[in-house]
Amino acid sequence: MSYCRQFNQFDPLTGAVPRIPFVALGEIAGRARHLLRDVTAAQIIELAETVEWIIDSAVLEAAKQADAEDAPVPERAQRSDGQWLRDHIFYYDIRPKAGESFPHYHHAFAVLALWLVADANFSIQPELDRIGHHRAMVPETADVERQWVIAGRYAIDAMEAICLAEELASRHADARLERILFPNEGDGIEAAVKKRISIQAKAAAIAKHKTNRAARLRAIELYTTHNYPSVEAAAQAIAKLVHKAPRTVAKWLYAERKGRTQPPLDSTL
């Protein structure tokens, strides 16, 4: 249901949520309230009205587009409010004022989840709806099965909304972390990360080169200070001391012996 002052009857921060027949409603409310910690009920109500306006504008825009294309006009009930909001909220600038931390996009979905929890609550317990919007759809005289079916639909939509809220909250946290790690990179964070990876790879290559050079110098030193029957024999003996393959050591030794062509090495070297 559209936002019809649900939070005037159901406190979004402390309102009790029934555990029967849908135990997940309490979990959804808890997850939404966690995202909305340190936010007042008045701020939540104000954001709920903004969210309702965005959804309503999205439905009207879709109707205009369908009419222009001579296509069937969509109705709000054909999609969940979470889907309408997901597809259109990023056209709007929902950002906190300087020095404030509310609202962000994920807060909008958390608020939507809470009002859908309230909708489910009023469908299960119509007598709680003092304003009467929900009782007009599901009166107190309605059979329990109908009450629970409608409440179940709201519960599913609420779960969708809180999952979207948590996904956006995770992205928001990642973006904050990137700004902390790369404060001077601006929009080039991805490029900065690649640059740092490249620097690390280059440093690793330099370190490997230094290790190889030291091993090569040691191998040549051992070769020139000892008598070996052949280069191949020297390579076999020295390879164990410099922790390199015999074939590699043999190449170093042949290169050191200037003017000598490297013959084919035995495959066991």
pLDDT of residue 37: 93
pLDDT of residue 207: 67
Could you tell me if residue 36 is inside a domain?
Answer: yes
Could you tell me if residue 65 is inside a domain?
Answer: yes
Report the first-to-last Cα separation within the chain, whole angstroms: 78
Whether residues 81 and 138 fall in one domain: yes
pLDDT of residue 99: 85
Nearest to 10 by CA among 89, 125, 170, 106: 125
Whether residues 220 and 126 fall in one domain: no
- The domain of 233 spans 189-256
pLDDT of residue 264: 45
Residues in the chain where the model's pLDDT stays below 50 = 259-269
pLDDT of residue 83: 95
Could you tell me if residue 138 is inside a domain?
Answer: yes
Whether residues 153 and 211 fall in one domain: no
Whether residues 203 and 150 fall in one domain: no
pLDDT of residue 188: 57
Last residue within a domain, chosen from 145, 164, 181? 181
pLDDT of residue 108: 96
Last residue within a domain, chosen from 159, 181, 203? 181
Whether residues 153 and 198 fall in one domain: no
Q: What is the pTM of this model?
A: 0.67
pLDDT of residue 204: 65
Going from the C-alpha of 203 to that of each of 77, 86, 136, 191, 206, the distances in angstroms are 58, 44, 71, 18, 5
pLDDT of residue 268: 46
Could you tell me if residue 265 is inside a domain?
Answer: no
pLDDT of residue 93: 86
pLDDT of residue 186: 56
Whether residues 169 and 200 fall in one domain: no
How many domains does one find in the chain?
2
